[in-house]
Copies of this chain bind each other. A is one copy, B any other.
C-alpha cells in the first residue's frame, strides 16, 4: 500500500515533487504514524537547496517536525496504541541527559529521512504525547523550534523570574523563547525589522521592542531598555552577522545561546568580550525527549498556543519555503500532510 510524500530529486526548491512511495517498514520497537501536520524550519530550506549537506543521497524526503496519529505498533511496543496523538522527536536517539555525538545521526530530515509524508515509522521512544489543547497543526511546530528554545532557556538556562532575555526577530525559535520566558516570569526585549511584528510580539508579552532597521545599534538600545545594564541572556539566532552586537548587549557573567545561522556561519568576530565579560556561550542543537516532555507539560498546564503563521497543503511546499525564505512570516509555517 503506498502513500504520498514530498521528495527532493535534485537540489532546488523548484525540483520538489509529490511522489507516490511505498509505506514505510515497521521494524521491532517502531510505531507507524499517520502524519497529520509537518512544520518547516530554516534548516529545511538549507536541506532542499543543498546548502545543508551537498552530499545528501537523493531522492530525499525533507523535514523533521511532525504530529500525527498512531496507526500501528510493532511487536514489543507497549507505550502506544493506535489512535494515540503523538509528536516526533527531532533526534529520536537523544532520550535524556547531556548531548552526545551519536545522537546527531538520528536527526530526522537531515542525517535520516524526513517526515514530509503521509506516513512515517519512528522508534517508540522517539515520540511524545500531544498536549490535549493543541491541534495537529499547532503540535507539529514544537519538535525543533520550541524544544530548542526550551533547551536554551530552561534546560541549559536556567532562567528565573526577573531575568531579561534578548530575542532576535520573530521566527519560530524567538517566538517560542518569548512564550517560554514569559512562563518563567522573565522580561523580554525583542528585535524586528517590522513595527507591525513588534506590536504582535508585544501582544505575546514582549516588553522591550526594537526595530533594528531604524535602530541599527540595537545592542545599545537593549541595554538602555534594561536600565543601562546588559541583558542576562541573548538567544542568538542570527549567527555571525549579529554575534558581536550580542556580545555587547549581554551583561558580564551572562549567557548567549548560540543557535542560528541566518546570517551565515563564517565571519570576523571580536572575541575579547567572551573572556573579559566571563561569558558562557552555549551551542544549542534542539534537545532531548526529556526536554520535549517537560516543554509539553508546561505548555499543557498553561495552555500555551504556538504561533502558526500559515497552513499549506502538501503540494504547496515550494510556496511555503519561498515564503519562509522571504522572512515575511511571524511564527511557524505548517504543511497539512494528511488527506
Contacts and interface: CB of A to CB of B under 8 A. Distances in A.
Contacts of A230: 101
A288 to B, nearest CB: 8
Interface residues of A, number: 65
Interface stretch (A60-68, A251-259, A315-323): A251-259
B265 A268 contact: no
A162 B158 CA distance: 14
Nearest to A247: B283
Contacts of A154: 160-161
A184 B268 CA distance: 36
Contacts of A278: 99, 283-285
Given A28-B76, A29-B29, A279 B270 contact: no
A269 interface: yes
Residue picked from A97, A104, A269, A271, most chain B C-beta under 10 Å:
A271
A274 B283 contact: yes
A98 B251 CA distance: 12
Interface of A: 27-29, 76, 95-101, 104, 154, 157-158, 160-162, 180, 183-185, 187, 230, 239-240, 243, 251-253, 258-261, 265-285, 288, 290, 294-295, 297-302
